[in-house]
Structure 1
Amino acid sequence: MDERLIAGAREAWRAIEPAARRMIDYIWENPELPMMEYKAEAALSAWLVEHGFTVERGVCAMPTAFRAVWSNGEGATIGFLAEYDALPGQGNRMEPNRAPDGKRAGHACGHNLIGGADTGAAIAARHAMEALDITGTIVVLGTPAEEILWGKIAMFRDGAFDGIDVLLTSHGDYQNGAPSRPCLACVSSEFVFRGESSHGGSRRSQNALDAAELTVQSVERLRAHQFSDAIIGHVMRFAGFMPSITPDEVRLWFTVRNADFERAEEVYNLILPIAQDAARYTGTDFQEQFISASRGYLPNDAMAGRLHAAMEVIGPPVWDDDDLAFMQGLSEHCRPGQPFNLDRTTAIHTEGVDPYGQDDGEASWYIPLARANWAYPTGVLLHNWAATANSGHESQMKGGVFAGEALALTAIDLFTDHSAIAAAKAELAERVGGRELSPPRVGGFEVMTNNPEAFWDATWVSTDKLAG
């Protein structure tokens, strides 16, 4: 990459970095549940407008989604993905110990960093393009509800990704670098069992909890022989008030994960009739309330190589003694007595399968995607209060800043070398091969877009026409 382009991109990032830091802090201080990210969406949209982007808010009929566009003439179109939702029950003060802050949610997956860093990267790239007279178009997609693998699936289905040549994003992980490896596909659905309440000593009731427990027990009994290759998780979001009242409604939220999307769907379709049969055996009613599904990442070595080249220019995050002391304290709380381990290099990571799901994984099967990772200590668990504390601290701010600068530099590289984009598209086509792809179904659209509170307080009723 030309030194003039590198200097221009890095100068543009340095100019925007203070605002990116403030945005990262603001989103961390105001954690919001998926599809309820009103403050984050408003702040990011206003920031983009301030820098000359045309912003469509409420895109795809989703109140907390946006699509922002800035163009400097004909050329490639590069999309930046901003995430900003938080996780329920994971609020914590910025302390290296369990210190609940009384908030309903917390950024235990670091999406405050993604929202601020990725949006900042897009703004920096926009100013670098103008200064360097580079043509092309930047699209920033504000994508809510990643934590339930929902927002990008709905936005992709409804056209928000149309016309984008490549995608850039970021995320905290246990390694710094540019991954080119899959993560797990996931299918997510809520099963609702409805019976009749009565005295707990009665033998005549239709006990919804019996149906839910029978479902879980049956799934566990069959797992070893029918779907030992799948990772199956569940929570009961509502299971009654007290033992002397038989529950008349129980909600069982299932997720099925597998490296292969078709296999995850297949296993889900094995579990669904188990739940239906459990309802029949217990005399209860059953309703499937499908939520979402997503493929895992499609690796793209061409994109990862370009991103990692930018990281080599920048260098990995550099943590000072205060940063390390904070992260060591968190690690000791999560993994007492275990050695402290923190990646301080950068690399292209191709081995293995990451254990999480991501809804931009779905998009990566249609549009080449590169993701900048920055490192958490291995002792700090994601989706844990410790990750919330860490994502608000300077130690992780340095990771987000590293990722933002790398994305801005990569965008300028791609805008000025169309052969790199062509190579990424060719690799995607080769990896997809002859598969006929279609986006997964999107569940609960009406409630998610009009009354997401009902989803989170477990009172929602799906209007989707599904099995049940």
Structure 2
Amino acid sequence: MTSESQRDTLLRRVDDLMPRLSDWNQTVWHYGETAWREYRSARFYVELLRRHGFEVEEGSAGMPTAFCATWRNGEGPTLGGYAEYDAVPGNCQAADVVKRPRDGLSPWAGGHTDPHSALGFGALGGFLAVQALMREQGIPGTLKFFGEPAEKVRGSKPLHAARGYYDDLDAAISFHPFYMLPLCNTTRWDTHCGAAYGVIYTFTCDSPETWLTSDRHSPIAASHASARAPGANDAVTQMYQNAKALREHVLASGLNWSMNEAILNAGQATADNLPAQMAQIMYFIRVPSVAQAEHVVRGLDHIAECAAQLAHCRVKRDWVAKSRPGLANHALAELTYRNLERVGAPCFGDEAIALARQIQANLGMTPMERPFLPATEQLMPPREAERELRRILPPTQTHFTSDDYTEYSWHAPTVRLYIGRPTLAPRDDGGAYPDWVMNALGGLAPCIDPMIETAAKTVGLTLLDLLQEPEALTRARAEFEERTGGGIGGSRWLAPLCDYPPPLDFRWPEYVTTPRGENDWVIPAPGPGRQ
């Protein structure tokens, strides 16, 4: 049984760690590296974990920016958690109270939005605090801490799951900054995240000479006086337009679901009379169930084939992600929420309040006395959050939104923990804040550190209980066995869907070094003589 003395000691460990957790978060936040290209961020974690005694496998599951770190202290439960550290292209905001990119970078470079930097160190703080207590007091058990890249495209967790990395876990903790009411300072109850599929369609025009109007006597595929083949750009345009137009015919209405696209490549053409040779478009689908995800992809396949035929191209589909819907675990959700109650919700101090009021003033608003959203400093019991969430969903919809933490939930009892991040209170005029505001608040240490501290303490206390209280782990495990029909391989267990290699070789945005300098971006940063 966990004693009050042990709990107090763990909370002090987090207090002692906070200056370093804050600094570490600032480092990764300013790296701002995006999916599959988080080289410095992953290296930072690997070196940090090794300094703390973890054995670290780099490049786990064939992903260069992933890792699996393990620390053992005798026979006992194996408990898992993770860091994410991918940022988002086009969100390069400085840690400032005005809109501006980080120094020397294009505004279209990467930046943290959720922010994943604080997600990682909120979780790691709890693991390092409990590790120190395990050493001091001889508490047996194993800690496994994963580096999960490319979460924004649901990249790594399906791959880790399919390669068996989660199979030895007795329980897992998934922490995420609050991003949607009512899921703030709470744990998820029944309605977990749904399935998410990501696909890339590559259109290639490699036989332009066979187009309808091609001049067979011309030395090039299309003479300057002839109509050339449409080519890959036309195919992507057709795909984009038809997928939008036919969206309502792909999946039945009445569900909360989404399908978004991103054009990764367009062209490889010239200003001459030559068609675009290759273009790529990626789709990301968030739906409640795997069956619905499969149905949407079948629809996209049909649209892609038609677009390719119209534009005189070939089309190839590649997988980016196949993640399963989440599996609830009430026992672990209750245990974690009790620990959150002990810690309390984040509390924003005078310095954070002053920064938030400066942002409001710079937006032309009258600064509020209490500028932060009240919910970010209040607790929300899981059952109450569930009731509020269900108000916006059809009765038959079992899952909502998406995040690939769900992969853990099919291999071990898993809790989804949300902690309030700095979010400004609603504007008096009913308007919305620009997106740079949330991004900036995630990089201002006085604003984001309260969330990191609350998360680290809640994660640490939950790990300590799972190590010290066998009955808590037994309850969580029994529920997992019941929900899966016998655990891994059980009658209701859903096996990993990942049957594809890591999608590393596509044109994911990244920082590059050129004659213009270091840390340039694939969309160059403004500089002398360049606009």
Q: TM-score, normalised by structure 2?
A: 0.78
Residue 193 (structure 1) aligned with residue 246 (structure 2): no
- 3-state SS in 1 of match to 2:6: helix
Query: 1:218 maps to which residue?
Result: 242
AA at the equivalent of 2:415: A
Query: 1:30 maps to which residue?
Result: 31
Residue 327 of structure 1, CA deviation? 3.9
- Deviations along 1:438-468, one digit per CA (max 9) or x if unpaired, are 21225452x52xx56x4437xxxxxxxxxxx
Residue 385 of structure 1, CA deviation? 3.4
State which drifts further: 398-407 or 171-180: 171-180
Query: 2:166 maps to which residue?
Result: 161
Q: CA separation in 1, counterparts of 2:279 and 2:402?
A: 26
- The 1:200/1:417 distance shift into structure 2, 3 A limit, reads farther
Query: 2:289 maps to which residue?
Result: 260
State which drifts further: 418-427 or 71-80: 418-427
Q: CA separation in 2, counterparts of 1:153 and 1:56?
A: 18
Q: CA separation in 2, counterparts of 1:332 and 1:300?
A: 44
Query: 1:146 maps to which residue?
Result: 151
Query: 1:231 maps to which residue?
Result: 258
Query: 1:461 maps to which residue?
Result: none
Residue 243 of structure 1, CA deviation? 8.5
Residue 383 of structure 1, CA deviation? 12
Residue 282 (structure 1) aligned with residue 311 (structure 2): yes
Identity %: 25
Residue 378 of structure 1, CA deviation? 6.5
Match of 2:457 among 390, 396, 405: 405
Residue 261 of structure 1, CA deviation? 2.5
Mapped contact 1:44–1:119 kept (Cα < 8 A): no
Matches within 5 A, 1:54-203: 54-101=55-102, 102=105, 104-174=109-179, 175-180=184-189, 181-195=191-205, 196=208, 203=227
- Deviations along 1:364-410, one digit per CA (max 9) or x if unpaired, are 12221123322232679999433331211121121011101110111
AA at the equivalent of 1:358: D
* Count of paired positions: 453
Q: CA separation in 1, counterparts of 2:322 and 2:309?
A: 27
- 3-state SS in 1 of match to 2:282: strand
AA at the equivalent of 1:441: C
- Deviations along 1:53-89, one digit per CA (max 9) or x if unpaired, are 2222222332222222222211111012111111112
AA at the equivalent of 2:128: I
Matches within 5 A, 1:4-15: 4-15=5-16
Residue 389 (structure 1) aligned with residue 440 (structure 2): yes
Mapped contact 2:36–2:508 kept (Cα < 8 A): no
AA at the equivalent of 2:341: E
AA at the equivalent of 1:277: C
List runs of 5+ in structure 2 lacking aligned partners: 209-220, 394-398, 427-431, 486-490, 511-531
Mapped contact 2:139–2:467 kept (Cα < 8 A): yes
List runs of 5+ in structure 1 lacking aligned partners: 458-468
Q: Give me the CA root mean square deviation.
A: 3.0
